[in-house]
């Protein structure tokens, strides 16, 4: 049995079924896992199923390069602002410097 991703690791998203031009993939549903099974007689080995597979293409998470935060000292400004007042302060500082 040839599967799109590692056996018993299929999420069942069916992206491989949607992308397959020859409709050579079907999901075998078990109690504990899904399996996207490829019909090897129909498959043309285009590789599109593997390109869209969530399990074959896991995202690489990276930490942010720079993180900055701030807020206004003035409590009244801070409470009225969605950004904590930082947007207003940046705006004011920018216009004063011109």
pLDDT, position 66: 82
40 and 8 share one domain: yes
47 and 89 share one domain: no
Query: Per-residue pLDDT tens for 78-95?
Result: 888 888 888 877 887 777
pLDDT, position 98: 60
Note whether 16 and 49 are within 8 A (CB). yes
Q: Write down the pTM of the prediction.
A: 0.58
- Domain with 15 in it: what CATH number? 3.30.70.20
The whole-angstrom distance between residue 12's C-alpha and the CA centroid of its chain comes to: 16
Query: Per-residue pLDDT tens for 28-77?
Result: 988 888 999 999 999 999 999 999 999 998 888 888 778 777 878 888 88
pLDDT, position 97: 65
Give the count of domains, the chain: 2
Domain that holds residue 72: 67-98
């Amino acid at each position: 049995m040839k599967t799109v991703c590692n056996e018993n690791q299929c999420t069942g998203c069916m992206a491989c079924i949607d992308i397959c031009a020859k409709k050579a993939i079907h999901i075998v549903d078990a109690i504990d896992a899904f399996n996207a099974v490829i019909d090897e007689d129909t498959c043309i080995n285009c590789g599109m199923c593997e390109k869209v597979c969530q399990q074959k293409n896991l995202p690489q998470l990276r930490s942010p390069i720079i993180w900055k935060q701030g807020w206004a000292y003035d409590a009244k400004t801070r409470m009225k602002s969605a950004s904590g007042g930082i947007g207003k302060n940046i705006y004011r500082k920018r216009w004063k410097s011109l």
